[in-house]
Each structure stands twice: as structure tokens, then as C-alpha cells.
């Protein structure tokens, strides 16, 4: 019997190498969990039919004496990362039956190691949203309370790991899409430095923000997965050359932007949890310093809308994906895009077209880019004064499905996460405890109270992922005390 609850990549590697169980047995155990839970949670859009075949090949590699960190490790892959010969839809009707013609670079690297891909996970359509409610294939439900959202846009990947339906997963992070669902689901999510991981084979949402990142159960697992997908790629000109991260310091200084945390709109239980975290970190010997950060949401969303509008223009229903016939080419476009894109995608395309239009470009997009450059310079100075920046990952716990029908209220959920994407620095979300909530819950639940996970976020300077992993391990130790 494999103990999935306490299994990590690190432990699985040792057990596989020691032949305590095989890759096929491990994969089958996860397939059994998916069969039991996925109908209710909707984390996977598709479970691949060759999972056991992949696992068998991994076992054959081990029989030959080969061993790699991710050999035989079962992973879930967000439905926006291309795997050759597999469907990839970005959770959109416009790409419902699209088959990838090549592997994303991260997939090529994982295939070389013999990783096992369990399936493709649900998400907000084209990575636009914060709850996985914008999927064309139904919402992904939170494992801790299935009446609540999983977060987004990588909600399916976070739930797959949280519910024991994958040992780890890949997501993509545009403004918090790995970190926020990880916080809502009680797991760890890393947003690497922009350019630290190749975007080749990742469907673009906001090209200057997007980055692929791991979702795992421990900081060490996040390091293992990141180390094996990172690096320079000739197919992605924005990737950075491999370099060693800054040396970890025993006495870290941590900046806390209380001006953002103490404002209205931040849930009181989130504030209480965060203050308790700060106290525990201080007691463990870390130095806490008060800093100020601006609210970056306006800058983020102007750039987001503009790049989304540009990137989604390629989905015209002519070359691939959904095609509906009209009386002429224009009607073909209108019908295909109107039926193929969901409401949030259409909204961002329209807003993006507006901020890029003549007469508004300089007033909106041009100013946002100038503000972005100023913010990058501010962060360079900030990281000469502190080693890390600490915030809650999200201003609230997971909300009820359908509760935030106003798109503005959804956008406000990203207040703590978007900054890392704007300036391109790495950030990690770590589980920081639970809050207790009272019912009523879903009809299938008889509980009067439930616990919802919360998360905290550390940001570090460019290329300093190792510092995030080390502080993550330290925080895991502190949390056990």
C-alpha cells in the first residue's frame, strides 16, 4: 500500500530506486484516486490513455540502471502546455479538439527523464481568471470544500496535487496563476524568474508575464521540479542563461508592506494569520522590516488586456480549432470567435483593443509600460535593502463558486501576486495554516464546520529561487513547532 498522503518526489525517488514499488504500481495508485475523486472535483479534463505504458517504460529504464530525479514520477500538466499528439485546449471551446504537433520544452525535458504524465488539468480559459470558473468545461472544485473555488488559473493542477491525484504538477503563472490556487488548496506554488523556464510550447496569455512553474507538496519538491525544467532554450529568446542563485544567508531580512496588508478589502482572518506568521518568523531569528509597495493592479491589467488582445487574435477559426461558416469571411470570424471564446476572454480582448487603439495607446498602454519600468527600478533598490518581500498570497480564502460574479471583485484578488510578474522576480506561495468556516456546505457534506487553507508569499530578487526554497524549508520547520 503506497502512502500517497505523505509521499513526496524525494521519497518516491528513493522508493522507486529501492524497488519498494514500481512506476506502474505508483501510476495505477494515482489513477485509482483520479477515478474516485475527479468526477466531483473536475481537476482533470482528460486522463491520458497511455499512463501505464509511460510508467512501464520508466520501469524498463530503471531496470537498466538508469535513475533521474523525475523518472517514474506521476505529474499533472495544465491544459495550456503542449504535449505532442495530445489534446490541448486552454480550457476553451475554440480549441476543443486541437492536437499538439510538438512538445513544449519543459515536456521534452521531462520526457528525457522518464516522467509520467497523468493527464491535462482544468484552468481558466486561456489563463484568464482567478478561480477556474472561466473554463469552458466546468469549474474545478476545492478539495477542502467542494462548494468553493480552487483558485486560478491553474486550479486543476493545484487540486490534483491537493487531493492526491498527482504527486506534483505544472501550471503557468501570469499574475498569480500558480501561487493563488496553491494557497487556496494548501500546497506549494512557485513562480520562477521571468525567463528562468522556457515558454516554448506554452500557449501565450500575456507574453511578458507568463512563466511555467511547479505545484508541489514541499519546498524541496518544488526545487527538484524547477531544477529539471529551468534553463536557457534556443527556441525562447527570453530565457536566461543558467547561473547559480545567490548564496543563502543565515540571517535574512524580510520586508513586509504593511500599507497594502492593513488596507480595507483584506479579510480579517487573513490578516490575523499573516501577523501570526510574521511573529513566528521573528521568533525564529529572521529580521522583519516595514516597507511600502504600491497597488500595482492598474498597471498589471492594462498590460494584461493589451497583450491578451494581441495574443488571442491568432485564434480565428481558419487555420485550426473551431470553425463556423457564415455568409462571408467576416461572418466566419464573428461566429467562430463569438462561440469559441468565453465571456472573460471576450471582455479582455475588447478592453485590450481599446487600450491599444489610436488616441488611447499613450494614455493607457504607454503610461503602464513607463510605470512598469519605474517599478523595476524600485525593486532593484528594495532588494539591496531586504532579502525577501513577504505578503499574504491572496486577500481572502477561497470563495463560494459564483460568489464573485463582478469581474472587478475578481481582479482585486490578485493584489499581492501581480507585482512579481510585472517586475519579473521569482515568488513562492507556502501554506500558512487554516481558518475555520461554518456551513452550510454542499449537499453531500454533513459537517457544521470546515477548514480552508491560507498561504503566504515570498518574493526574491531575479534568479534567487534557491533563496525561496531555503526559506520555504525553514518555514516548513517553523510551522511544525
* Each residue's pLDDT tens digit, 6-34: 999 999 999 999 999 999 999 999 999 99
Is 241 a domain residue?
no
Q: Which of 192, 210, 227 is the last residue of a domain?
A: 227
Q: Are 184 and 150 in contact (CB under 8 A)?
A: yes
Q: So what's the pLDDT on residue 243? A: 65
Is 282 a domain residue?
yes
Q: Cell 468545461 appears where? A: 137
Spatial separation of the C-alpha atoms in residues 350 and 399, rounded to whole Å:
27
Is residue 257 located within the same domain as residue 217? no
- For residue 247, name the pLDDT band (cuts at 50, 70, 90): low
Is residue 157 located within the same domain as residue 78? yes
Is residue 73 located within the same domain as residue 119? yes
For residue 480, is pLDDT > 80?
A: no
* Each residue's pLDDT tens digit, 141-190: 999 999 999 999 999 999 999 999 999 999 999 999 999 999 999 999 99
Is residue 262 located within the same domain as residue 203? no
Is residue 85 located within the same domain as residue 122? yes
CATH number (domain holding residue 133)? 3.90.1300.10
Is residue 138 located within the same domain as residue 276? no
Q: Which of 176, 210, 227 is the last residue of a domain?
A: 227
| Residue 133 lies in domain | 9-227
Is residue 205 located within the same domain as residue 278? no
For residue 123, is pLDDT > 60?
A: yes
Q: So what's the pLDDT on residue 248? A: 57
Is residue 268 located within the same domain as residue 161? no
Q: What is the 3-state secondary structure (H, E, C) of the chain?
A: CCCCCCCCHHHHHHHHHCCCCCHHHHHHHHHHHHHHHHHHHCCEEEECCCHHHHHHHHHHHHHCCCCCCCCCCEEEEECCECCCCCECCCCCHHHCCCECCCCCHHHHHHHHHCCEEEEEECCCHHHCCCCCCCCCCCCCECCCCCCEECCCCCHHHHHHHHCCCCCEEEEEECCCCCHHHHHHHCCEEEECCCCCECCCCECCCCCCCCEEEEEECCHHHHHHHHHCCECCECCECCCCCCCCCCCCCCCCEEEECHHHHCCCCCCHHHHHHHHHHHHHHHHCCCEEEECCCCCCHHHHHHHHHHHHHHHHHHCCCCCCCCCCCCCCHHHHHHHHHHHHCCHHHHHHHHHHHHHCCCCCCHHHHHHHHHHHHHHHHHHHHHCCCCCEEEEECCCCCCCECCCCCCHHHHHHHHCCCHHHHHHCCCEEEEEEEEEEEECCCCCCCCCCEEEEEEEEEEECCCCCHHHHHHHHHHHHHHHHC
Is 266 a domain residue?
yes
What is the percentage of the chain residues whose pLDDT exceeds 70?
A: 96
Average pLDDT rounded to a whole number, residues 327-338: 92
Spatial separation of the C-alpha atoms in residues 397 and 269, rounded to whole Å:
9
Is residue 138 located within the same domain as residue 267? no
Q: So what's the pLDDT on residue 448? A: 63
What is the percentage of the chain residues whose pLDDT exceeds 90?
A: 91
Is 245 a domain residue?
no
* Each residue's pLDDT tens digit, 203-223: 999 999 999 999 999 999 999
- For residue 446, name the pLDDT band (cuts at 50, 70, 90): low
Is residue 283 located within the same domain as residue 407? yes
Is 18 a domain residue?
yes
Q: Which residues does residue 449 pair with via DSSP β-bridges, in sequence order? A: 438
Query: How many folded domains does the chain comprise?
Result: 2
Is 81 a domain residue?
yes
Return the minimum-mean-pLDDT range out of 189-203, 232-246, 268-282, 314-328. Answer: 232-246
Q: Are 400 and 442 in contact (CB under 8 A)?
A: no
Is 308 a domain residue?
no
Mean pLDDT (the chain) is 95
Is residue 188 located within the same domain as residue 265? no
Q: So what's the pLDDT on residue 438? A: 76
Average pLDDT rounded to a whole number, residues 446-451: 73
Is residue 151 located within the same domain as residue 274? no
Q: So what's the pLDDT on residue 449? A: 77
Is 172 a domain residue?
yes
Amino acid at each position: 500500500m503506497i502512502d500517497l498522503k505523505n509521499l513526496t518526489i524525494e521519497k518516491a525517488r528513493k522508493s522507486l530506486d529501492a524497488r519498494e514499488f514500481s512506476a506502474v504500481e505508483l501510476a495505477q495508485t494515482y489513477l485509482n484516486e483520479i477515478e474516485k475523486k475527479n468526477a466531483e472535483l473536475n481537476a482533470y479534463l482528460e486522463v491520458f490513455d497511455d499512463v501505464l505504458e509511460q510508467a512501464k517504460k520508466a520501469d524498463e529504464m530503471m531496470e537498466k540502471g538508469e535513475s533521474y530525479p523525475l523518472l517514474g514520477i506521476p505529474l499533472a500538466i495544465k491544459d495550456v502546455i503542449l504535449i505532442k499528439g495530445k489534446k490541448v485546449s486552454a480550457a476553451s471551446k475554440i480549441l476543443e479538439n486541437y492536437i499538439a504537433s510538438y512538445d513544449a520544452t519543459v515536456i521534452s525535458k521531462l520526457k528525457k527523464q522518464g516522467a509520467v504524465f497523468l493527464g491535462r488539468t482544468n484552468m481558466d480559459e486561456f489563463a484568464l481568471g482567478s478561480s477556474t470558473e472561466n473554463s469552458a468545461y466546468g469549474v474545478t472544485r476545492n478539495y477542502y470544500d467542494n462548494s468553493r473555488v480552487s483558485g486560478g488559473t491553474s486550479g486543476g493542477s493545484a487540486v490534483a496535487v491537493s487531493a492526491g491525484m498527482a504527486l506534483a504538477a505544472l501550471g503557468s503563472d501570469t499574475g498569480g496563476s500558480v501561487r493563488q490556487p496553491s494557497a487556496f488548496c494548501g500546497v506549494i506554488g512557485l513562480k520562477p524568474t521571468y525567463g528562468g523556464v522556457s515558454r516554448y510550447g506554452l500557449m501565450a496569455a500575456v507574453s511578458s508575464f507568463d512563466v511555467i512553474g511547479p505545484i508541489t507538496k514541499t519546498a524541496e519538491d518544488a526545487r527538484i521540479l524547477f531544477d529539471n525544467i529551468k534553463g536557457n532554450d534556443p527556441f525562447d529568446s527570453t530565457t536566461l542563461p543558467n547561473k547559480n542563485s545567490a548564496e543563502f544567508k543565515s540571517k535574512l531580512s524580510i520586508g513586509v508592506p504593511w500599507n497594502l496588508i492593513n488596507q480595507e478589502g483584506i479579510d480579517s482572518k487573513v490578516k490575523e494569520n499573516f501577523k501570526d506568521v510574521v511573529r513566528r518568523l521573528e521568533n525564529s531569528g529572521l529580521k522583519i522590516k516595514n516597507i511600502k509597495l504600491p497597488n500595482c493592479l492598474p498597471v498589471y491589467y492594462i498590460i494584461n488586456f493589451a497583450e491578451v488582445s494581441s495574443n488571442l487574435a491568432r485564434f480565428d477559426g481558419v487555420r485550426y480549432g473551431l470553425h463556423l461558416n457564415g455568409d462571408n469571411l467576416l461572418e466566419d470570424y464573428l461566429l467562430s470567435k463569438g462561440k469559441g471564446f468565453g465571456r472573460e476572454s471576450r471582455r479582455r480582448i475588447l478592453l485590450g483593443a481599446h487600450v491599444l487603439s489610436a488616441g488611447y495607446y499613450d494614455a493607457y498602454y504607454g503610461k503602464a509600460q513607463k510605470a512598469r519600468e519605474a517599478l523595476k527600478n524600485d525593486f532593484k533598490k528594495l532588494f539591496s535593502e531586504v532579502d525577501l518581500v513577504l505578503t499574504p498570497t491572496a486577500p481572502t480564502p477561497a470563495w463560494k463558486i459564483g460568489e464573485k460574479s463582478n469581474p472587478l471583485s475578481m481582479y482585486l484578488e490578485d493584489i499581492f501576486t501581480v507585482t512579481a510578474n510585472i517586475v519579473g522576480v521569482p515568488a513562492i506561495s507556502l501554506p500558512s495554516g487554516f481558518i475555520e468556516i461554518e456551513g452550510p456546505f454542499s449537499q453531500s457534506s454533513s459537517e457544521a464546520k470546515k477548514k480552508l487553507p491560507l498561504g503566504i508569499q515570498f518574493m526574491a530578487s531575479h534568479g534567487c529561487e534557491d533563496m525561496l526554497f531555503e526559506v520555504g524549508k525553514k518555514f516548513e520547520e517553523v510551522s511544525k513547532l
